[in-house]
Amino acid sequence: MFSGLNLGLMSLDKLGLEIVIQSGTAKQSLYAKRIYPIRKRGNLLLCTILLGNVSVNALLSILMADFTSGVVGFLLSTIIIVICGEIGPQAICSRHGLAVGYYTVWLVWIFLIILLPLSYPISKILDWALGRELGTIYSRNELKKLLEMHSTYSDITKDETTMMSGVLDFGRKEVSEVMTPLEDVFMIDIDDNLNVETISKMLEMGYSRVPVYEGDPERVAGLLFVKDLALLNPQDNIPVRKILQIYGRNLPRIFSDTPLAEVLAEFKRGRSHIALVRRVKDDGVGDPVYENVGIVTLEDVIEEILQDEIIDETDVYVDNKSQAKVRRQLFDYQASLAHTATEGQGENIMSILRELSEFSEETVSDSVLLKLIQQTPVVDVNPGDPPLYTEGKPESFCVIVLKGSIHLKGNSQVIEVFERSPIGIKALVYDQFVPTFTSSVSNTASVLKITKRAYTAAIQATLFERGDPDSMFVDDF
């Protein structure tokens, strides 16, 4: 028993037992909680077990010598000690140390008290000489290797192992290792006009945020959000500079040697998910001179944690290092405008909306209204589809019936709404619209769904177009 517990109990270090108590199964946690009080007295437990083990071996040898001759006693005591006292117990305890320790801990406590006069002084000397027992602590590289081994023999998948390894390396990486070099960044000049050509180029690239430079691409002046242009008329040729003055979107500046952990913390504050990377160009005598060298985004940081490339709908390259391009068909904005114009629905829908006071010329200009129509999809509603409106469920959009009819059932009656008629128009002007009806169709109907957000943006864009100073305080389109 002493020999087995020497291996079984002492191999269960305090840190390992704490882990089992907190995260093991119910049975394992019960075993560990009972063992932990005696195991945390490391050197005292070690001295007790070894004193007991040596005493038993010595007693067995003396008894064998008394009962048999010297040679026979030597052979018998050796065989008994090796097989019954060492190999057997240690083989069992090496695999079931937690269970064996749980069922024998009461006996260990008894011997610990009996041998205390001898074991306590020795344990104190060991405590003083060797210091506090810390348990098994792994380095970063050891943890990565341990994860690889666990992925082979446990239910941890290869992808999970890769992500955990990425997290371990994450804190040691710098921005310069993941950024996109400035020469590979798509930017526009602050002196450009937001005409069809410029907006087409931005939309074809697919980015939601576009850095703006002034004169030299290294002189980044600000950041343009594509959503800021949602309801601008390309024919107005509004300067990029004017949009930047209104919104005032700036890029945070970070140094190229900043750890990624600090960059992630900055992004988590929510002020921006994209930052300009710079470095010291001249660190000689005098004030330092900085140069902009690249752009880093939240996606770049997350990719380092995942240890894999996130190829979304806006990526041009698979990654910044290989420069391998993503194969996809880019969005053709000008062709889309041409397609919309050939459909011939814009003017028809505009005439329908003009019949409503909410879409009068005083509220929404012709150019903005046409833009709103072009960007609002026509939805086909079929029998069996989820209802557009459900009684008692708040909504923030209105519906214009373009084709067919919609049935509204509520208050024990059914109303049929036909073409050129609005439903839920109050959703555009009130903070919350709660319908008192549920909609349905008996045949396929086509409707135009206009959200309150889009309607509000149309009003703001009209004010901006007409030079109304109140529009200068609009935060978002």
**339 pLDDT more than 50:** no
- Does 161 lie in the same domain as 186? no
Question: Would you give the DSSP letter of residue 206?
Answer: T
Q: What range defines the domain where residue 182 resides?
A: 175-306
d(CA 236, CA 26): 70
The pLDDT of residue 22 is 79
- Does 151 lie in the same domain as 42? no
- Does 436 lie in the same domain as 351? yes
- Does 155 lie in the same domain as 179? no
The pLDDT of residue 341 is 40
d(CA 104, CA 100): 6
Which of 50-59, 297-306, 428-437 has the highest mean predicted lDDT (pLDDT)?
428-437
pTM for this prediction: 0.48
- If one counts the domains in the chain, the total is 4
pLDDT band at 177 (very low <50, low <70, confident <90, very high): confident
Q: Let me know if residue 337 belongs to a domain.
A: no
The pLDDT of residue 476 is 39
**359 pLDDT more than 50:** yes
List helix spans (H) across 115-157: 116-130, 140-153
**How large is the greatest C-alpha to C-alpha distance in the chain, in angstroms?**
120
The domain boundary, picked from 260, 276, 306, lies at: 306
The Cα angle at residue 128 between residues 124 and 131, in degrees rounded to 5: 115
Which of 60-69, 136-145, 195-204, 438-447 has the highest mean predicted lDDT (pLDDT)?
438-447
Check residue 196 and give left, alpha or beta (phi > 0: left; psi -120 to 50: alpha). alpha
- Does 352 lie in the same domain as 271? no
Q: What is the CATH number of the domain that holds 214?
A: 3.10.580.10
The pLDDT of residue 325 is 56
- List, as one string, the DSSP characters of 352-415: HHHTSGGG-TTTS-HHHHHHHHHHS-EEEE-TTSPPS--TT--B-EEEEEEES-EEEEETTEEE
Dig out the tokens for 286 from the structure. 């005098």
Rounded average pLDDT over 379-393: 90
**159 pLDDT more than 80:** no
102-111, 308-317, 380-389: lowest mean pLDDT where?
Answer: 308-317
**475 pLDDT more than 70:** no
**362 pLDDT more than 50:** yes
pLDDT band at 399 (very low <50, low <70, confident <90, very high): very high
163-177, 380-394, 399-413: lowest mean pLDDT where?
Answer: 163-177
